[in-house]
Amino acid sequence: MDLFQVHPRDLDAYIYEYLQPDERFLNQVAETIDKICTFLTGQCPYKISKAVKGGSLGKGTAVKNGSDADMVVFLNHFKSFEDQKENRAKILSDIYDLLLKCEKNIGRQIKMTPPKITHSSSSPRSLNFQFKSTGSSDFVEVDVLPAFDALGQVTWTRAQVYEALIATRERGGEFSPSFTELQRDFVKDRPTKLKSLIRLVKYWYTEHVHRPYKTQLRSREDLPPKYALELLIIHAWESAGKGENFSTAEGFRTVLELIVQYKHLSIYWTTNYNFESYNMGRFLKNKLKEPKPMILDPADPTGNVAGAARWDLVAEAAKYCLQQNCVKNVTSWDVKLGKTFEITVTGLDGKSSISLNVFPNDKVSSLKTEIESLKNLQRSQYYLTFQSRQLEDERTLEYYGIKQHSTIHVNLRLRGGSELQCFNAKNHS
């Protein structure tokens, strides 16, 4: 049945009937992956500390006839992120040979295609193969990725793990397999109905974006990864404050509208990392100032999963879908495009002012530093107020209720201890 002809109220039934994967087949795949992991653990010349299932299979967002699974193999042989990159090619070659032996003992209900090595830039990154059902058309795309077990280092705190990650200065997402468990759990723990919405959007993306547009891509061009769509959906659901009972049609329309406005997306979470440490705070602020769209991986702060992709093609398909019956005359959720916002800081001559883009978690001291970089001021010469309240350096903007279009007042300290408010501008919040 054509998705575009489904009535909005029937989308839940459509997902259940047409998009739910064959649970029996997925269980067989999961069991087979476990067997392969056990085989590799016993046969691999490098000690495997653990193996983790990620991708849509691990997250619980698999779609019929098009699921994917990451089998991340954590090796004690890797002592650092740099070590992983340097030795990955040799280890992938050894795992490749072992998988060829494995292939003959998979079982009768699943067929495994021969593995092939995939590359990231010029460096081998993973092994790829498919599990195909012998009883239906269902299949699962599998990537095997060797990784450094950064989160399993008993002498490292979570903050130290991320400090080590950003210290590598590698391109964004280079070491994301090390954070597979965090990526998986960020999606897996969401309500069942939200994961059904994710299935619907991923199905639409496969059928109406990937298949028709992939031939239009030039060399080195890519469409956005499905993980970016998963995170966009979660952001929309969180931002709108929706619980477990919501309209699937409204959620679908909301995501399509966000895609159309992709140039303004600036999305991040502080679930696993935040702005508190100096190095991480500075890194995140610089990262979030990079070109939009920005959807920062909640597990890996180096990875903008929405970056360097042909969102214009996705937006074109979204505009077309918005005109179809499945979301026609449906009200979308009230969702922000990102977490940055603009404030006004009154100037020093009684007339001019400056506009700044800030984050809710920015500290007042950080705001002062930015003001001082633009104006010839020293910290001892002034203080800031918002709604007649003096701002303390270590408090965040969110603490004071500062939001979009708020105005901050600069107040000069005159000699002798008296004070002068530079502006009497109105608060527009």
> Tell me, what CATH number does 31's domain have?
3.30.460.10
Angle (CA) 311-187-333 rounded to 5° is 60
The token duo for 121 is 């830039």
Q: Which residues have C-beta within 8 Å of that of residue 95, sequence separation ≥ 6?
A: 40, 44, 73, 127, 144, 146
Q: Is residue 202 part of a domain?
A: no
Q: Which residues of 183-222 are buried (b: 16+ CB within 10 A; e: fewer)?
A: bbbbbeebeebbbbbbbbbbbbbeebbbeebeeeeeeeee
Predicted confidence (pLDDT) at residue 290 exceeds the cutoff of 50? yes
**Which pLDDT score, from 0 to 100, does residue 398 have?**
82
What's residue 121's pLDDT?
Answer: 60
What are the φ/ψ torsions at residue 182 (nearest 5 degrees)? Answer: -70, -40
| 103 lies in some domain | yes
**pLDDT in the model for residue 348:** 58
Cis peptide before 124 (omega within 30 of 0): no
- Lowest mean pLDDT segment, chosen from 224-233, 239-248, 272-281, 310-319: 272-281
Running DSSP on this structure, what letter comes out for residue 84? Answer: H
pLDDT at 399: 85
- Asked whether residue 29 carries a pLDDT value surpassing 70, the answer given is yes
How would residue 96 be classed by pLDDT, with cut points 50, 70 and 90?
A: confident
135 against 119, higher pLDDT: 135
Closest C-alpha to 344, from 328, 352, 355:
355
Q: What is the pLDDT of residue 421?
A: 46
Task: Output the pLDDT for position 427.
Answer: 37
DSSP string, 188-206: HTS-HHHHHHHHHHHHHHI
The domain boundary residue, chosen from 148, 182, 197 = 148
- The two tokens of residue 89 are 């090619």
pLDDT at 175 over 90: yes
> pLDDT exceeding 90 applies to what percent of the chain?
51
Tell me how far apart the alpha carbons of residues 233 and 224 are, in angstroms, rounded to a whole number: 14
Q: What are phi and psi of 103, to 5 degrees?
A: -55, -35
Q: Number of folded domains in the chain? A: 2
Give me the phi and psi of 341, to 5 degrees please: -150, 165
Q: Would you say residue 324 lies in a domain?
A: no
Question: Does the structure show a pLDDT above 80 at 122?
Answer: no
Residue type at position 292: K
Residue partners of 53: CB distance under 8 A and separation at least 6: 30, 33, 69, 70, 71, 72, 184
Q: Tell me, what's the pLDDT at 185? A: 96
Answer whether residue 242 shows pLDDT above 70. yes
pLDDT of 8 > 70? The answer is yes
**pLDDT mean over 81-97:** 88
Final residue before a domain boundary, out of 131, 148, 165:
148
- The answer to the question of residue 194 being in a domain is no
Q: Can you tell me the distance from the alpha carbon of 355 to that of 101, in angstroms, rounded to the nearest whole number?
A: 63
Which of 148, 166, 193 is at the close of a domain? 148
In a domain, 261, yes or no: no
pLDDT number for residue 154: 86
- pLDDT value of residue 220: 86
- Are residues 268 and 284 in contact, defined by beta-carbon separation less than 8 angstroms? yes
Is position 180 within any domain?
no
> Which pair of structure tokens corresponds to residue 271?
């679930």
Instruction: State yes or no: pLDDT of 351 exceeds 90.
Output: no
Q: How far apart are CA 378 and CA 410, in angstroms?
A: 12
Residue 225 counted as domain residue? no
**Tell me, what CATH number does 391's domain have?**
3.10.20.90
Report which residue type is found at 52. V
How high is the pLDDT of residue 105? 65
What gap in Å lies between CA 359 and CA 338, rounded to an integer? 10
| Model pLDDT, residue 426 | 36
User: 225-229, 325-329, 365-369: which range is least confident on average?
Assistant: 365-369
Q: Is 80 exceeded by the pLDDT of residue 61?
A: yes
Q: Name the average pLDDT for the chain.
A: 88
pLDDT band at 337 (very low <50, low <70, confident <90, very high): confident
- Please tell me the least confidently modeled range out of 183-197, 234-248, 363-377: 363-377
Contact 4, 46 (CB under 8 A): no
Residue 131 near residue 58 (C-beta atoms within 8 A): no
Q: Does a structural domain hold residue 358?
A: yes
Tens of pLDDT, residue by residue over 352-407, are: 788 887 877 778 998 998 888 887 788 888 999 999 999 999 898 888 989 878 99
User: The domain containing residue 354 runs over which residues?
Assistant: 341-421
The residue with greater pLDDT, 338 or 311, is 311
What Å distances lie between residue 141 and 46, 63, 126, 274, CA to CA?
25, 12, 12, 33
Specify the pTM: 0.81
Instruction: Say how many residues make up the chain.
Output: 429
Check if the beta carbon of residue 173 is closer than 8 Å to that of residue 300: yes
DSSP state at residue 152: G
- pLDDT for the residue numbered 25: 85
Under the banding of pLDDT at 50, 70 and 90, the label for residue 104 is low
Long-range contacts of 423-426 (CB under 8 A, 24+ apart): 423/346, 423/347, 423/350, 423/353, 425/344, 425/346, 425/353
CA distance 144 to 131: 13
